[in-house]
Chain A
Amino acid sequence: ETGVTQTPRHLVMGMTNKKSLKCEQHLGHNAMYWYKQSAKKPLELMFVYNFKEQTENNSVPSRFSPECPNSSHLFLHLHTLQPEDSALYLCASSPPDPPSSYNEQFFGPGTRLTVL
């Protein structure tokens, strides 16, 4: 399988549940990202991992907890979420070279999360 994959594609959870979103990339990239897209808002960067090290947090609430065990996998652990956390969560990855800000990001299809 190629590209960036995300599972599950849809998730409904209660506020007391604990769930995890998974992202996997088979592109040999070294940087991976979590974005949140709420209705009528721009994509918001949540977390950045570069060579498995988290480099950006962007003041995301602690009820969102990322994990990057290796450069191909990225998780977003969710616990005690709020209804306003309902959104589309997108994962992306970008290649290691050249080291410039022009590194196209490749996106997965996203997980549509609904918090009841």
Chain B
Amino acid sequence: DQQVKQNSPSLSVQEGRISILNCDYTNSMFDYFLWYKKYPAEGPTFLISISSIKDKNEDGRFTVFLNKSAKHLSLHIVPSQPGDSAVYFCAASALISGANNLFFGTGTRLTVIP
């Protein structure tokens, strides 16, 4: 059963506008949430994270919001740029046997239109 869900497989946004990517999770034991970005022919690269004790984390154009009661997080990119076009994966982290285990969503393909 999927513990992390990204219900939108794709999103198109005009350059300069805001991109909002959503993610839902089911396990309340997750204590960190991360967003990864993936370009074709490359592995996912870490973008931004948030601890479960916070509700917002900002890094430049990227902001992640966490709503624990709704088990929902979102990534906001503003302003969106064509170079942001990629697949974005939401992940939730749990420490299991001394190593962090990440549970991923299926990804959302973002296309920023120039």
Contacts and interface: CB of A to CB of B under 8 A. Distances in A.
B43 A90 contact: yes
Q: Give chain B's interface secondary structure class.
A: strand
Size range of the interface on B?
A: 20 to 34
Interface string A26-53: 0000010100000011110100111100
B76 to A, nearest CB: 20
Interface string A67-92: 00000000000000000000000101
A28 to B, nearest CB: 15
B100 A105 contact: yes
A16 interface: no
Interface of B: 2, 4, 9, 31-32, 34, 36, 41-46, 49, 51, 89, 93-107
Interface of A: 4, 6, 31, 33, 40-43, 45, 48-51, 55-56, 90, 92, 94, 99-110
